Amino acid sequence: MPYPAWRAAPLHLGLAACGAASVFSFAPWYWAPLMWLSLAALFAAIGHAPSPRHAAWRGLSWGLGYFLANVHWVFISMHTYGGMPAWMAAGCTLLFALYLALFPALAGWLGRRWPARDAWRGALVIPLAFCATEYLRGWLFTGFPWAVSGTSQLPYTPLAGYAPLIGAWGTGLLLALCVGLVVGAPRQPKRWAAVAAIWLLGLGLQQVDWTTPHGEPVSVSLAQGNIPQDMKWDQAHFVDNLRTYLWLTREAKGEIVVLPETAIPAFLNDIPDWYLDELRQAVGKRHLVSGVPIMGQRDDEYYNSVMAITEPQQAVYSKHHLVPFGEFVPVPTLFGWMYQFLDMPLSGFSRGAPKQPPFVLGPTRLAANICYEDVFGREIIRALPEATMLVNVSNLAWFDGSWAAAQHAQMSQARALETGRYMLRATNTGLTAIIDQKGRLLASLPPMKKALLEGRARNFTGLTPYARLGDWVFLLALAAGFALSVALARRV
């Protein structure tokens, strides 16, 4: 007799709830154990599925809850500030979450379909399938590695010790394997011992210094203008916006002063010369770095950039990894209709070069990245070993005080761990922060507040293993794990 669909409803609702609960494992809560429990529910459901098709549906249900909870804030950017009707923005948010949920659905199907002995399916294959599809999500169509499971363990659990070696992806793989070992065979003491060994080794690795401090600490001032998104590009507020950042610059005491993404809401060639002169006079012989859009050679060519206002002879940094649908349309023939309903200024940016030199600011070699770019660890390490410090400039006013700002800051913490570098964050509305080479938040400003963050940061030299090898160790481990499962399945 066919299994009635309605009898499966509680299971799928429960999986969606388990997926949604994972949001508390990320910042601002950092309740990392919730990710263990969420993955345990997913892996157990896949492992007990009667077929790959059922496993895929279970992965989809879990993924839908997971992504609706973790990226619900895209609704705010589309409706509140993009001008899209609420029903359409809600529908686009649901479709986006459904697309992202296809990856854990694929993991479910692959986890049940891949050849493996039953004894190792839950402990090895399902965790590998989950991590492989999660990485695929972070790569396909330019990638969307937001809310990656490994990031939830950074920087405060023992697994953070592995981030300088194998990155957030590798940390997620170890997390998934630990969960799989326990869920796949909870009564086997050897597997519990293996999990304990992984965590104890991670605790030891946290004590290792992979990079070396260089010179004396540098004083820094990070500006947070707190300009609402609906006022940022409004010509009626243009002068007020200029005054805000001029005032913050004058108040700054740091040797390096950083203003956030597009702090000056005009193209560089349209900014009055007197205003740039005022900014330079405000810092004197110190250094001022700011986000500013820059026109290219053609009318339709413009860049989301960062420049050293006090050292205009230095090359500007222009954002390379653009946000799909926010800064460019991936396939205009399919998705151009969205822009009929969105009112997003400067939504057709051009790409900067993949590798760009850091700013030379006294003893500091400051490598910039803009907003969404620090989600991609494999791209941030391109600035090394030249860069001695990292800075992210962002404008998350699009998300109106949601948890997106805190989640984004946690990804900056992951990048600091992976590179062994301080990460400065200068944002319009939050989270403005100073993060050390261990991924710890040394200081931060309350969100949605106009203020300056004054503090000290250190330059570091040297390369972590992850900075040398990137994602290759993780990818080779995935390949080896899948090959091992096939070999075990073929043994008589």
> Pairing mode, if any, of strands 256-258 and 287-295?
parallel
Q: Which residues in the chain land under pLDDT 70?
A: 1-6, 325-347, 492
Catalytic hit among 255, 319, 418, 438: 319
pTM, rounded to two decimals: 0.94
Q: Which of 255, 261, 373, 418 is catalytic?
A: 261
Identify the structural domains of the chain with CATH numbers, from first to last.
5-208+471-490 (no CATH), 212-463 (3.60.110.10)
CB 290 within 8 A of CB 278: no
Is residue 131 annotated as a catalytic residue, yes or no?
no
Residue 319 annotated in active site: yes
The pLDDT value given to residue 191: 87
Q: Per-residue pLDDT tens for 170-210?
A: 999 999 999 999 998 777 888 899 999 999 999 999 999 99
386 is catalytic: no
pLDDT of the residue at 235: 83
Q: For residue 364, what pLDDT is reported?
A: 98
Q: What is the pLDDT of residue 143?
A: 93
251-254, long-range: CB within 8 Å, 24+ apart, which pairs? 251/452, 252/221, 252/223, 252/282, 252/283, 252/452, 252/454, 253/219, 253/221, 253/454, 254/218, 254/219, 254/220, 254/221, 254/286, 254/454, 254/455
What pLDDT was estimated at residue 1? 40
